[in-house]
Amino acid sequence: MISNKLSATLLFACSLGLLSQAVAANTSPEQVIISSGKQQAQLQTNIGVFEDNVEIIHGKRKITADRLEVHRREELGENKQLLVATGNPAIFQEQQADGSILKASAKEVRYDVANRMLTIKGSAEISQAGQKISAQEILYDMDKQLISAQRSDQEGKRVRTVLLPVDDKTESNKEQP
CB 152 within 8 A of CB 160: no
Q: Has residue 112 been placed in a domain? A: yes
Say what the pLDDT of residue 173 is.
47
d(CA 43, CA 60): 29
Residue 25, in any domain of the structure: yes
Q: What is the pLDDT of residues 125-141, one digit of tens each?
A: 999 888 898 998 999 99
Answer positive or negative: Cα dihedral of 11, 12, 14, 19.
Answer: positive
Query: What pLDDT was estimated at residue 51?
Result: 96
Residue 140 lies in a domain: no
Prediction pTM value: 0.71
Determine the pLDDT at residue 88: 95
Residue 154 pLDDT: 63
Q: Is residue 164 part of a domain?
A: no
Other CB atoms within a 10 A radius of the CB of residue 42 amount to: 13
Nearest in space to 125 (alpha carbons), one of 113, 140, 114, 111: 140
Q: Are 69 and 95 in contact (CB under 8 A)?
A: no
Residues of the chain where predicted confidence (pLDDT) is lower than 70: 1-29, 73-79, 152-156, 166-177
Task: For residue 75, give the CATH number of its domain.
Answer: 2.60.450.10
For residue 53, the enclosing domain spans: 2-125
Burial environment of residue 164 by CB neighbours within 10 A (0 to 12, 13 to 18, 19 or more):
exposed
| pLDDT tens digits along 1-30 | 444 444 444 444 444 344 334 333 434 467
Domain count, the chain: 1
